[in-house]
Structure 1
């Protein structure tokens, strides 16, 4: 029974979705886009068409009648005419509240590295129906190093902004964490380095009061003899 429950969770949630109390992604988190065994039915094999063949022109058609209808068919509702099929409906934004939870990274020495944990959870009540973007702004003297999670995070803003996109499907009470390794400038003084922040943006989120949190990096002294 326990194994069956585990399969249900994996089939319901994206690979990056975690329970809200968990502050950081588990070791076994699978990167976004990793192929898994499909549970979708195989596509149906094409069969011979049962539609009637298009009618052929009458054998007795004259040149005059052919030219008269040719101009109409060229500009009428033939293959090149405007489609009358309805456009696919776009997914409606859900009623969900994405919240950034403040998490300061582990201390690091000048020239050393640490990792920013951009932690976002869904307070509900709905599952997210749209992708959401997590934006990590780094303080001066700190540069992103990679590799990132998700792996397709992009660095912008002259190397001080990292944008990570998560897909739809984050249920109420679940969380997502973007991981951004960074390196501190060797000339940074010892102390607390402020100016960093994490922001989440989504078409689903109707409460922007909890969409941003700052973070500080503690610049620690280098151990003697290091």
Structure 2
């Protein structure tokens, strides 16, 4: 009879002691992205000419030569020549100025399909004391951990300083 009492005592205990745990809902675990065979390339585009003290825009044009869609974020770096300073707003809006105003860094999410492009727009102001001519030393670079060909990931650009048009 003692065994029967033990069962009766157990049954009279808290209700959680007798319940089986509910099965946990299945949790979907996202698979880690696999390395893509995307080849990002910087296409050279020189900014429009501007007068000393004027503004122009650097177009950082990035093309995915494929064959895959990018599976990781990539970064575009715009390095400015001496006498040129960044002047937002930038596109994308999350771009950030670095290295004492000499560089603008823009991050792009994964998902750029093959044979498509992405562009960062970096408005800049030319110093008022610049001489008429061509400024060199600017560049656009792209960084992507999956890019197998880094030989096409950087291009220089030139900024042409022109005389101020009469009447302006």
TM-score (norm 1): 0.62
Shift of 1:88: 5.3
Matches within 5 A, 1:28-47: none
Which of 84, 87, 90 aligns to 1:148? It is 90
Shift of 1:222: 1.4
Q: Is 1:96–2:96 an aligned residue pair?
A: no
- 4+ residue runs of structure 1 moved beyond 3 angstroms? none
Shift of 1:175: 0.2
Query: If each structure's strand is expressed as a fraction of its own residues, which one has the higher value?
Result: 2
Query: Which one scores higher on RCO, CA 8 angstroms, separation ≥ 6?
Result: 2
Matches within 5 A, 1:1-226: 54-55=16-17, 89-226=31-168
Gaps of 5+ in 2: 1-14, 19-26
| Counterpart secondary structure, 2:49 | coil
Count of residues paired in the alignment? 146
Shift of 1:55: 1.9
Deviation per residue, 1:67-108 (Å, 9 max, x gap): xxxxxxxxxxxxxxxxxx9x7542122111000000000000
What is aligned with 1:77? Answer: none
Shift of 1:215: 0.1
Gaps of 5+ in 1: 1-52, 57-84
Deviation per residue, 1:119-150 (Å, 9 max, x gap): 00000000000110000000010000010000
